Amino acid sequence: MQRRTFLKGTAVTALGAAALTATLSGSASAADIPVASLAALQNAINGAAPGDRIIVADGTYTVPTGSAITISGKNGTGAAPITIVSETRGGAVLRGARGFVLSNSSNITISGFAFRQSTTLEIPADCSAIRLTRNDFQFADTGDPYWVVVRADDSKIDRNHFHNKTTAGIFLVVDGPGSTAMAQNLHIFRNHFSDHTFTGDNGGEPIRLGVSGRALSAAGAYVEYNLFERCNGDPEAISVKSSDNTVRYNTIRDSRGGIVLRHGNRSRVEGNHLIGGIDGVRVYGNDHVIVNNYLSGLSGRALVVGSGTTRDHTPGETQEQRRGNDACDRAVIAHNSLINNAGTLSGETRTYEPQDVTIADNLLVGDSGSLVAMGATSGFTWRSNLLWGAAANGNIPSGGFTRADPRLGQGTDGVLRLTAGSPAIGAATLGGTVVADDIDGDQRGSVRDIGADEYATAPVLRHPLTAADVGPNAA
């Protein structure tokens, strides 16, 4: 069924003023409110109480120019959010310039819609605990460059599909109040980002977590269990420009973009699969932890320890100074598997070289070029890395590696893992950095293996993600 509904007038408040009462077949209760027009939807939102569930009938709803579906001053609770949900997933299609416009609200869930609007959906800083779940986002390419912008603390963005963008712009931006703060405690998980085909040099990231002016602000965000496919709009699929974030258990496949800690400090990149694309992981800033990642079949550089135009970013910098790269200092890069990439472990040539970086217990395998192509490495610690393949060792210090066949076997999921008798088993030596399990979810124990995989015969708990694991229909 295609149900097209329109509202008269241009004022945002007109949605509520012209509200109609409409219900689907069956009885409605105080907490279960079916609606079948934009006016009825606005009326239900205006009267919503904690625990109410507003069910929008399947159909196409076109919001008139100058109007919006406003959610203002509405507050659910953690245990009883106000939920606005499509009758079936993707069944309620929102068109027009704007859809939902939120302000001064909390504990609101918006679920199951197909967003086809042309302007940004923003979760502003005066809101909190807003959840976007099981939605399908494909905005008009002629509209705003940013599709979803989150500035509110404690928000969740989960099980959505962002797809098919051909122009410059970003699927999901996380900022915060003002010009330097970051939204706190965001959880971005089980989303599917696909088919960003912008062909410019940059400006087409799927996720941007912060921006240069917010780099020194802690966000505490978790970006996990997301799938990126054919994300070719930027060299950065996950662009981190803030501090104290965790990026883990994501899969980036057949994409130009990788995971880039572009600005900020103290983030953790763990347990990600980057397979068959171009760029891998690039690291700038201080005190990051890069562990348990699997990077394979990349046509660019798998792991880059970045140099800088400055040693460190500091408060009070000019905007132009903040845009520059700051050198990677005191990072721990351990238990990663870099296998059959065009470039394996690389450095850069800016003025300020990385310092005091630990590179240990990594598996580096390749058949061309050099496995290690670093620039200056002042104060680096190299230990217990395992190298193999026809590629040259490169400029890794002689005491920081051994060369031996790791005896890899390919699983049904395409991942190369250790097999019995591998010299990587039990050979890791780095202490002090907590790496409790491996990329598959197997416990490391006190005697650890080199690389992202801990040899085990038990079934693998974490595989590279597929479309069935993410998006609106994911568990």
State the fold for domain 4-469.
Pectate Lyase C-like (2.160.20)
Q: What is the pLDDT of residue 7?
A: 41
Residue 344 is encoded by which pair of tokens?
Answer: 């394996």
| 271-291 average pLDDT score | 99
* Of the candidates 462, 366, 371, 384, the residue with the CA atom closest to the CA atom of residue 426: 384
| 353-375 average pLDDT score | 98
Q: Which residues pair with 283 in a beta bridge?
A: 261, 305
Dist CA 176 CA 444 (whole Å): 37
pLDDT, tens digit, 9 for 90 and up, residues 396-452: 999 999 999 999 999 999 999 999 999 999 999 999 888 999 999 999 999 999 999
Dist CA 195 CA 157 (whole Å): 19
Q: CA 394, 405, 452: angle at the middle one, nearest 5?
A: 80
Q: What is the pLDDT of residue 12?
A: 35
pLDDT, tens digit, 9 for 90 and up, residues 214-260: 999 999 999 999 999 999 999 999 999 999 999 999 999 999 999 99
SS3 state of residue 467: helix
Q: What is the pLDDT of residue 194?
A: 99
Domain residue limits, the chain: 4-469
Dist CA 203 CA 411 (whole Å): 36
Percent of the chain with pLDDT over 90: 90
Contacts with 29 (C-beta within 8 Å, 6 or more apart), sequence order: none
* pLDDT grade for 30, boundaries at 50, 70 and 90: very low
Q: What is the pLDDT of residue 8?
A: 35
| 60-83 average pLDDT score | 98
- DSSP symbols for 355-411: BS-EEES-EEE-SSSEEEE-S--BT-EEESEEEESSSEEES--GGGEEE----EEE-
Residue 58 is encoded by which pair of tokens?
Answer: 């399947």
| 462-469 average pLDDT score | 99
| pLDDT at residue 14 greater than cutoff 70 | no
> Is residue 221 within 8 Å of residue 198, measured between CB atoms?
no
Q: What is the pLDDT of residue 20?
A: 30
Q: What is the pLDDT of residue 168?
A: 96
- The H or E element spanning position 166 is none
| 169-188 average pLDDT score | 98
* Of the candidates 435, 443, 445, the residue with the CA atom closest to the CA atom of residue 462: 443
Report the mean per-residue pLDDT for the chain: 94
| pLDDT at residue 394 greater than cutoff 50 | yes
| pLDDT at residue 297 greater than cutoff 60 | yes
Fill in the amino acid letter for 293: N
* pLDDT grade for 378, boundaries at 50, 70 and 90: confident
| pLDDT at residue 4 greater than cutoff 80 | no
pTM: 0.93
* Of the candidates 351, 356, 352, 353, the residue with the CA atom closest to the CA atom of residue 379: 356
pLDDT, tens digit, 9 for 90 and up, residues 144-167: 999 999 999 999 999 999 999 999
